Structure 1
Amino acid sequence: MTAIQLKTGAPGARILGFGGYRPRRRVTNDELSQTMETNDEWIQSRVGIAERRWASDDETLVEMAVAAGGKALAASGVAPDDVDMVILASATLEHPIPGIGPQVAHRLGITRPGAFDLNAGCAGFCYSLEVASNAIRSGSARHVLIVGAERLTDVIDQTDRATAVIFADGAGAAVVGPADEPGIGPVAWGSDGDQSSAIEMAGTGRIAMAGQAVYRWATTRLTATLEQAMAEAGVTVDDIDVFAPHQANLRIIESMHKRLGFPERTVVARDIVRTGNTSAASIPLALEALLESGEAKSGDLALVLGYGAGLTFAGQVLRIP
């Protein structure tokens, strides 16, 4: 009997470049106070957000994803013809069919890649990162473009302070390629489906969130996931230069930072203060911002964690390009 042949890929995978797109419109807390019972002090004390970006009609998911993906390709130095796979992570697709991964690839000049959409809520970028890393190491792809793109303003009640003060729009992207040594550590991921109702879209088509339940879950259950991700990558908190979890709530970020006991030199991503919660886009947007500001630098070791609807979660250690 003839054996089926398998490809072999690179020894490891790494991120080669980041890109991001932030909508033009800045929405301050004072502006929100005009349409709902809230104020700047209330919002900042609970979630740490001072302003967020909301997309205009022309800033569609595809347009934002193309802008972020193009920046990531330019930063990585990888030509569109050298991209074999495109993963579009989003929880806010307007229609399930057709997927927008192939559309984004076409707009960027990427010819006939494997392309698909992935919905793991706010953990979508980290889930996509593991899929991309595995594809490169198995030989089924050499370069992968990941884009997290969200228009959460399409699915929130803009008079509901439980969601409208938190969620925002934007796109963040990364190009992943082969490496002689791993630049993306093993994933620590999972789900708690018994809490799936904590974040959901009901028949109204609007997102609803049990904020206190999600806060308790994230601050008590996910520290172990971060510790697992570091252990499987063979590093400790003392090795981490950048801590960039999903930008869901500044209080959650600060709680995780305190629980893990990072050294004083570790840079903590706080992009949520000016960008809001952009779901699958938040981690690449935060890392791009840290690189642009100089707070993070090429070669730094970062610990990332995505978590959200499902409830899903995924953590990894990665080397910043």
Structure 2
Amino acid sequence: MTGSRIVSLAHHQPTRVLTNDDLAVMVDTSDEWIRSRVGIATRHIADADESVADMAASAAAKAVARAGADAADIDLVIVATCTAVDRMPSIAARVARHLEIPGAGVFDLNAACAGFSYALASADLAVRGGSSRTALVVGVDKMSDFLDWQDRSSCVIFGDGAGAAVVTAVDAARPGGIGPVVWGSQPQRGSAITLGTTGPAGPPALFRQDGHVVYRWAVTSLAPVAREACERAGIAPSELAAVVTHQANLRIIEAVTRQLGAAGALVARDVVDSGNTSAASVPLALSKLVERGEVPSGAPVLLLGFGAGLSYAAQVVGCP
């Protein structure tokens, strides 16, 4: 039987860094106020001329190069994003064009901050089903295009960036593959996070969220999802080498991982330096851990994405 595994990771962040002190000049806030509530110190913000497609293509090109793959090897490109301003062609099609990938299946996926985990699961299922042999999966968002920079409850949270993974087919019996996904949603609470348009001819509407609703949902509902993903992968939380959740808020990350019971695992806290990068946050954080050599190759890592919808997805993967 066919399984799948991540063979490489890469990420891209804009060069501009916005500190908490920078934000304090723009809006009524302070470094202490931001750190105490969400744990963020800095975030990367893309320039006006750096698009979602640009960031996605940069991360994707590095991931393909690190995999030692040729463009012709890629037969599927999936991009998770909720901030593509231009609807067509898809960001996935633009990435394929930029990397000169010939003839691959291409599509975008919108599960907001859970997007990369949904896209990774989709690639895994495509490989297991025989529709793909080598897939390129990208999580990317440019949240800065949709922020009210006078609303301190939201503008301090987000950053821009992209993360990418190359997924290939392997023998299903080989350890270190992508485990079964546990995914779902609570759409009855979906209005807690919104990003839409004001009308057919109107400008883009700004990001809005009910932070209290999202926080309560995350700290009460996500640890059981994470435990189920471990169970389906045949691993105990105590055996995890690392836990990489969506980098939404340091308080949420620490509460969920504490409830999970993965005491010996390295917990990604990239939110401190990058802020919440939406669909990019999980691959970006994992890519940095791998780049720094903090997780051994093949070691089990729990990935947990969650966000608007209210959607979630979790799976255990082998570290590339």
TM-score (norm 2): 0.95
| Residue 81 of structure 2: aligned partner | 90
5+ residue gaps in structure 1? 1-9
Deviation at 1:57, TM superposition (A): 2.1
Letter in 1 for 2:147: I
| Residue 114 of structure 2: aligned partner | 123
Letter in 2 for 1:75: R
| Residue 198 of structure 1: aligned partner | 192
Question: Is the aligned partner of 1:271 residue 2:265?
Answer: no
Distance 2:84 2:49 in 1: 15
| Contact persistence 2:80–2:138 (CA under 8 A) | yes
Q: Equivalent of 2:161, from 157, 161, 170?
A: 170
TM-score (norm 1): 0.95
Deviation at 1:112, TM superposition (A): 1.2
Distance 2:110 2:262 in 1: 31
Deviation at 1:297, TM superposition (A): 2.3
- Farther-moved stretch of structure 1 (288-297 vs 145-154): 288-297
Secondary structure in structure 2 of the residue aligned to 1:254: helix
Q: Equivalent of 1:68, from 56, 59, 68?
A: 59
Distance 1:244 1:209 in 2: 23
| Residue 152 of structure 1: aligned partner | 143
Question: Is the aligned partner of 1:290 residue 2:285?
Answer: no
Letter in 1 for 2:187: G
Q: How does 1:168-317 map to 2 (within 5 A)?
A: 168-180=159-171, 181=174, 183-202=177-196, 203=198, 205-264=205-264, 266-317=265-316
Distance 1:101 1:85 in 2: 9
Distance 1:288 1:100 in 2: 21
Deviation at 1:21, TM superposition (A): 0.2
Secondary structure in structure 2 of the residue aligned to 1:33: helix
Deviation at 1:11, TM superposition (A): 1.8
Deviation at 1:211, TM superposition (A): 0.7
| Contact persistence 2:224–2:260 (CA under 8 A) | no
Deviation at 1:153, TM superposition (A): 0.3
Distance 2:238 2:222 in 1: 19
Deviation at 1:74, TM superposition (A): 1.2
Distance 1:211 1:227 in 2: 24
| Contact persistence 2:223–2:257 (CA under 8 A) | no
Deviation at 1:77, TM superposition (A): 1.4
Distance 2:51 2:112 in 1: 18
Secondary structure in structure 1 of the residue aligned to 2:179: coil
Distance 1:45 1:263 in 2: 23
CA deviation profile, 1:27-80 (whole Å, cap 9, x unmatched): 000000111111000100110000000001232111111110011111111211
Distance 1:234 1:112 in 2: 37
Deviation at 1:236, TM superposition (A): 0.5
Question: Is the aligned partner of 1:134 residue 2:125?
Answer: yes
Secondary structure in structure 2 of the residue aligned to 1:303: strand
| Residue 47 of structure 1: aligned partner | 38
Deviation at 1:95, TM superposition (A): 2.2
The total of aligned residue pairs comes to 311
Deviation at 1:294, TM superposition (A): 2.0
Distance 2:42 2:2 in 1: 42
Letter in 2 for 1:127: Y
Deviation at 1:208, TM superposition (A): 0.1
